[in-house]
Amino acid sequence: MPEKGKISVIVPVYNVKSYLPQCIDSILQQTYDRLEILCIDDGSTDGCGELLDGYAALHRNLKVLHVPNAGYGAAINRGLDAASGEYIGIVESDDWILPQMYASLYEAAAEHDFPDVVKADAVFCWDSYGYRYRWHRADLEEDYGGVLRKPDFRKRLEFFMNIWTGIYRREFLEQYGIRCHETPGASYQDNGFWFQTMTFADSVLFVDNAWYMYRQDNAGSSFRSAGKPLAMAGEYTWLEGELTQKDAGQEALDRCHYFRLVRNYGSWLRTSSEYKDALLPVMLSDYEKYQDTVPAEGFVHDEYQLFLKDPAGLTLAQKHFRERTFRQWDSAERIVIYGAGTHSEQMLRMLLNYGCGDRVLGFAVTDAAGQRDHIGEYPVVALKELAGKIDFATTAFVLSVFVRSRYYAEMTAQLRALDVPEWTNADEMFRYLYLIS
């Protein structure tokens, strides 16, 4: 029987020695004192295992399991096998959490009759660039703080896809046999676990807060992988099998197929050109089979229609855009994001994820009146103030509005008036570059 009140925190670890102390220290510093910390050393070769053993010698509630390298999913599953708590938490070993996270989550669980799942938001962290961003869907505001039952499972899937901002009732996971897909490496095995918890849970509570600090400036993170084009499709093939075996129902299968198409598109955006030939036939075949699950309006439908018309041409256009844009960014002395509205921070996050943070000067606006002074550590200034202070010939501009925007003509006219020779616009950024948040 699970031990009432105990939370078992699973930490899968593989070659993250430089980040590991911050992660483990943050768990040990939790204000909730009934934690079992299970660190799964997945065959690390950089000294993580020895570091963890040192922690275990000092803290009785921290256990280390040294296992041969088998991948992220297998490491999570080893932790599930060893866990004894009423609830399960997961912390990735290059991230960290705020001190009140587990106390707050368990308190919320107790206040709502102990739901199967209790989750919160995440804070995306580029601390090397002084920028953080809390993921939060304002349009889901009314769904925070209330328990979402099984009929609401589609609504649950609209929240941020992750497995580590919350806690899961262990008896619920065992009842439905919810595990991670075991494949080598760290290639999207969280997708299947996430989808199953959102599908099978009788009760899910989303708390309107964020205690999980999700590191974005780890160059070794799996979301940067560009050489595993079929891994995502493989994850959803496995998930479909799990849903079918467990009689999840047609609606769940339809949503699985929809998310398969969404994730395939994300794989296309991030996959290197030399691997796209392997991915494209899978994308088009999947769309032919599952297109009825896609709403007639929206980016998924629109983008796949472009693929159907000319898949090779679209791939070539992306290749040329990336080569031209990355060359421009690499050679620029500075990068300026023009606009500080809805999409400006998304432009910043793309630039940070593509390693350009050290060249981002800040944000320019047509009129600085009423604008924020800074976004993170990046200043917001009037475009005309930059004239004479920087050389526009060695500056790359990113325009944070779409061509269809009512502001586009005015903003491009401002750039031309200042003899800015070229810029990248939001349409191109969203069509050809990958944005995780």
Q: Which tokens go with 61?
A: 């509630």
Q: Residue 376's pLDDT band (boundaries 50, 70, 90)?
A: confident
List, for residues 70-101, the tens digit of each pLDDT value: 999 999 999 999 999 999 999 999 999 999 99
Task: Give the CATH number of domain 3-224.
Answer: 3.90.550.10
Per-residue pLDDT for 185 more than 90? Answer: no
Alpha-carbon span 185 to 228, nearest angstrom? 10
What residue segments make up the domains of the chain, in order of their start?
A: 3-224, 231-309, 322-432
Q: Residue 295's pLDDT band (boundaries 50, 70, 90)?
A: confident
List, for residues 141-172, the tens digit of each pLDDT value: 999 999 999 999 999 999 999 999 999 999 99
Alpha-carbon span 191 to 251, nearest angstrom? 17
- Token look-up 């040990």 returns 28
Task: Specify the DSSP element, H or E, that contains 42.
Answer: strand 35-42
Alpha-carbon span 316 to 321, nearest angstrom? 9
Residue in 119, 158, 164 with CA at minimum distance from that of residue 140: 158
Q: Residue 421's pLDDT band (boundaries 50, 70, 90)?
A: confident
Q: Work out the average pLDDT over 98-123.
A: 98
List, for residues 314-348, the tens digit of each pLDDT value: 999 999 999 999 999 999 999 999 999 889 999 99
Return the DSSP state at 60.
T
Per-residue pLDDT for 221 more than 80? Answer: no
List, for residues 398-408, the tens digit of each pLDDT value: 999 999 999 99
Residue in 310, 232, 298, 224 with CA at minimum distance from that of residue 265: 232
pLDDT score for 271: 87
Alpha-carbon span 188 to 222, nearest angstrom? 8
Is residue 358 within 8 Å of residue 352, measured between CB atoms?
A: no
Per-residue pLDDT for 223 more than 50? Answer: no
Q: What percent of the chain has pLDDT over 90?
A: 82
Q: Which tokens go with 49?
A: 């295992």
Residue in 343, 264, 336, 250 with CA at minimum distance from that of residue 293: 250
Is residue 195 within 8 Å of residue 256, measured between CB atoms?
A: yes
Per-residue pLDDT for 218 more than 80? Answer: no
Residue in 396, 378, 387, 386 with CA at minimum distance from that of residue 333: 396
Tell me if 3-224 shares its fold with 322-432.
no
* Mean predicted lDDT score pLDDT of the chain: 93
pTM of the shown model: 0.94
Per the DSSP assignment, residues forming a β-bridge with 36 are 8
- Topology annotation, domain 322-432: Rossmann fold (3.40.50)
Is residue 144 within 8 Å of residue 208, measured between CB atoms?
A: yes
Please enumerate in sequence order all residues whose Cβ is within 8 A of that of 89, keeping only pairs 6 or more positions apart, or say none. Answer: 7, 8, 9, 10, 102, 105, 164, 166, 167, 168
Q: What percent of the chain has pLDDT over 70?
A: 97
Q: In this structure, which long-range contacts are made by residues 306-313, counting pairs with CB atoms below 8 Å and at least 24 apart in sequence?
A: 307/280, 307/283, 308/284, 311/280, 311/283, 311/284
Residue in 270, 309, 276 with CA at minimum distance from that of residue 436: 270
Which whole-number Å values give the CA distances from 326 to 46, 108, 123, 318, in the listed order? 32, 46, 27, 12
List, for residues 232-282, the tens digit of each pLDDT value: 999 999 999 999 999 999 999 999 999 999 999 999 998 888 888 899 999
Alpha-carbon span 217 to 353, nearest angstrom? 7
